[in-house]
Structure formats: C-alpha cells, structure tokens
C-alpha cells in the first residue's frame, strides 16, 4: 500500500539554524500539506500546496517558513532560522483531490521530530 514517507525521523538543531524537512507524498496525489504537533498539544495546520503554489496557510506559517516541491517526488518544509518554540513533530500529508472537488482523505507520514536547542 502506498504511503507518505518523511525524512529524517528526528532532527536536532541549534536555535537560529536552518532546517529542511523532507517528505515524499503518495505518487498520484496532487495536494500536499504540512502540519505540526507541539508536544502534548493538538495537531495544527501549517500550509497546503497545489500546482506549485501555496493554496492556504495558517497564522503559524510566517516568513520563517517556506515550502517547495523541488522535483517530481519531494515536498519540503524549510524553517530559515529556527526558534525554541519550533520544536515539534512535523507531519506531511497528501491527498489525491481537495475538498472542493469532493471529499478526499489526507494520508499522513510518520512525522519528523524537530528539536531546537
């Protein structure tokens, strides 16, 4: 069964450093998402991406964040200058269609745990 994969599983970085979290969505999916989950809190939406553009983003997704689909398979989340409060589990998800085209399911990867020291 196809699945979303994410690398690395755990990333430790120093405050102020740039990190890139990588995701490989399911191959025939066209919509991509990033969510994060701070320890002990709920899963929060960051950004959705379609056709090489951001289609929606939350208030959390400020100028420190960016997303990219550098090739036909990877989908990345970059944090330019990490802060302590960026420590969280980051989940990538993908779906074949968006809600506007009928319901569809977002399939989640296993997550990358980011620890900012």
Partner 1 sequence: AQSVTQLGSHVSVSEGALVLLRCNYSSSVPPYLFWYVQYPNQGLQLLLKYTSAATLVKGINGFEAEFKKSETSFHLTKPSAHMSDAAEYFCAVTGANNLFFGTGTRLTVIP
Report the interface residues with partner 1, using CB under 8 A. Answer: 4, 6, 31, 33, 35, 41-45, 48, 50, 55-56, 58, 91, 93, 98-100, 103, 105-111
What phi and psi values does residue 70 have, to the nearest 5 degrees?
-70, -20
As a whole number of angstroms, the distance between CA 9 and CA 38 comes to: 15
- Is the CB of 14 or the CB of 40 nearer to partner 1? 40
Name the residue among 85, 89, 91 with its Cα closest to residue 117. 85
Local structure of residue 73 (DSSP, 8 states): S
- Is the CB of 18 or the CB of 68 nearer to partner 1? 68
Contact 116, 82 (CB under 8 A): yes
CB of 20 to partner 1, least distance (A): 19
Contact 55, 49 (CB under 8 A): yes
CB of 53 to partner 1, least distance (A): 11
- Is the CB of 105 or the CB of 115 nearer to partner 1? 105
- Is the CB of 18 or the CB of 97 nearer to partner 1? 97
């Amino acid at each position: 069964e196809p699945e979303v994969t994410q690398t690395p599983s755990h990333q430790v970085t120093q405050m102020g450093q740039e990190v890139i979290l990588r995701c490989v969505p399911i191959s025939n999916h066209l919509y991509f998402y990033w969510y994060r989950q701070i320890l002990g809190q709920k899963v929060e939406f960051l950004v959705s991406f379609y056709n090489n553009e951001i289609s929606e983003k939350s208030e959390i997704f400020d100028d420190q964040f960016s997303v990219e689909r550098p090739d036909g398979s990877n989908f990345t989340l970059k944090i330019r200058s990490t802060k302590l409060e960026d420590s969280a589990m980051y989940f990538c998800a993908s779906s074949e269609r968006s809600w506007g085209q009928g319901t569809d399911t977002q399939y989640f990867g296993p997550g990358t745990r980011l620890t900012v020291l």
